[in-house]
Structure 1
Amino acid sequence: MSEEDTTHFGYRDVKTEEKAGLVRGVFDSVASRYDVMNDLMSAGVHRIWKRFTIELSGVRRGNRVLDIAGGTGDLAAKFAPMVGDEGEVVLADINASMLRVGRDRLIDNGIRGNLHYVQADAQYLPFPDNHFDCITIAFGLRNVTDKDKALRSMLRILKPGGRLLVLEFSKPRNPLLSRAYDAYSFSVLPFMGKLVAGDSESYQYLAESIRMHPDQETLRQMMEDAGFARCDYHDMTGGVVAVHRGVKD
């Protein structure tokens, strides 16, 4: 097989057309325990990372917002009251299990009306050109097979002046932190996954997929290459996580 025919799934090389199915299997396995594991893995800090992303978004009343790879709806739940009845929030995920968990959770919390659910692939977003004021993707871009294609798809459906926020695991700046993070990722995470979610392999993939994701400067350049302007990023927790922002001119 040529390099064009393969991509990475964690540290494994797989056929390009197989990756989406493999990622789907990971999230089918962990969907019901996803929120619990996020709180345990990050000691709750993921909520602070997401809150900062929302603050950077500039979302206001009447806006249309798309949350891609929205999972169990953390960001969508915050955006819905911000845009109000005249606005719209779309929670999108390629994985039906995750989307179902997110929809049920938000409905149970009384969040309805301006919130819609769409099963969609980030590479082929089924929305009109120039439609959204803001797009967010939190901890989802690293699982996308063709990130460049996904970024161009997001640019297409943003309105001029619209903003993309990419919240994702990244590369720690401090070598000591990096070593400690590696030790935690490859020993504690799989053990925790087995104990809480009954699945160590999915959390082994999580650790590997983070290491295969582009670093901060590479992702910023990818966003610029896709056509985004004024691209910048903010490191959090020493660079363990970064939020990238770009604007459509």
Structure 2
Amino acid sequence: MEGVTSADLEKRPADVSSMFDRVSGHYDLTNDVLSVGVTPYWRLKTRQEIDPHPGQKVLDVACGTGTVSRILADHGSTVTGLDFSQGMINQAIERHGDQPNITFQQGDATDLPFEDDTFDVTTVSFGIRNVQEPKKALAEMLRVTKPGGKILVCEFSHPTNGLVRWGYDTYMNVAMPAIVKLVSSDPEAYEYLFQSIQAWPEQREFAAWLREVGYENVAHRNLTYGIVALHRGTKPASNTPSQEIH
């Protein structure tokens, strides 16, 4: 897109925010098409893992257009949806502003504007890989989570089956670019998104990041043969300071 700076794997915050501002209007539709309709299944498993219920306070980081925030709020949780892109927040408010259990706001995942020990659950769906300093974001999520509370990260990962991996890589590199040209208003943005998925660490390495910043009981569950992984962890019950990430 001539004259517009595109995001790349350096993930400069201003570039990433601008990119998501541009694609916010058609973001959900494009993702549903590209995932061949599997996205609702991933959201279902995310909801089941979080187990939303009245009295539960949830922070949805990189909430995008608010789809996951709405699902959790509809099941009783009080949800704060936060995203770095004001365009995404505007879309979220337009679509879900009628849900009284949700508050949306613009903010930085690496410098969360909340007090320590505020939320029962912090979660991020398909957003942590777009943060320039993901470990710092994870440490911030730990800080604002109550002792004994949990984190849930739903993110693209790496297929564990060789045949599935070959088919997935072929789809990502051959079919997806062609589809994006038909359904997206900004193909260059999705070129970055494809690259960010392929460059993202595999399941065990990301689990090690969660342990490094201070989470306990870290585990993951593969979805769709590992194309997506659900990572979870628990903040220690004691108020031991988390490791600072630079």
**Normalising to structure 1: TM-score of the pair?**
0.88
State the alpha-carbon separation in 2 of the partners of residues 119 and 201 from structure 1.
24
Q: Are 1:195 and 2:178 an aligned pair?
A: no
Q: Are 1:66 and 2:53 an aligned pair?
A: no
1:229 aligned partner, one-letter code: E
State the alpha-carbon separation in 2 of the partners of residues 104 and 162 from structure 1.
30
State the alpha-carbon separation in 2 of the partners of residues 50 and 234 from structure 1.
14
SS at structure 1 position matched to 2:12 = helix
Q: Which runs of 5+ in 2 are unaligned?
A: 1-6, 237-246
Q: Percent identity?
A: 37
Q: Are 1:160 and 2:153 an aligned pair?
A: no
Indicate the residue corresponding to 1:98 in structure 2: 88
The 5 Å alignment of 1:36-115 reads 36-83=29-76, 88-107=78-97, 110-111=98-99, 113-115=100-102
Structure with a larger share of its residues in helix: 1
Does the CA-based 8 Å contact 2:54-2:78 persist in structure 1?
no
SS at structure 2 position matched to 1:121 = coil
State the alpha-carbon separation in 1 of the partners of residues 74 and 190 from structure 2.
33
1:16-57: per-residue Cα shift (whole Å, max 9, x none)? xx6112212321221111111111011221111111011111
Q: Are 1:139 and 2:126 an aligned pair?
A: yes
SS at structure 2 position matched to 1:244 = strand
Following TM superposition, by how much is the alpha carbon of 1:88 offset from its aligned partner in structure 2, in angstroms? 2.2
Q: Are 1:122 and 2:138 an aligned pair?
A: no
State the alpha-carbon separation in 1 of the partners of residues 60 and 70 from structure 2.
10
State the alpha-carbon separation in 1 of the partners of residues 90 and 176 from structure 2.
25
Q: Which runs of 5+ in 1 are unaligned?
A: 1-7
Q: How many residues align?
A: 230
Give the 4+ runs in structure 1 shifted more than 4 A. Answer: none
Q: RMSD value over aligned CA atoms?
A: 1.5
Indicate the residue corresponding to 1:182 in structure 2: 169
Does the CA-based 8 Å contact 2:92-2:104 persist in structure 1?
no
SS at structure 2 position matched to 1:9 = coil
1:212 aligned partner, one-letter code: A
State the alpha-carbon separation in 2 of the partners of residues 114 and 49 from structure 1.
22
1:214 aligned partner, one-letter code: P
State the alpha-carbon separation in 1 of the partners of residues 148 and 73 from structure 2.
21
Does the CA-based 8 Å contact 1:189-1:204 persist in structure 2?
no
State the alpha-carbon separation in 2 of the partners of residues 25 and 176 from structure 1.
36
Indicate the residue corresponding to 1:27 in structure 2: 20
1:190 aligned partner, one-letter code: P
State the alpha-carbon separation in 2 of the partners of residues 9 and 202 from structure 1.
9
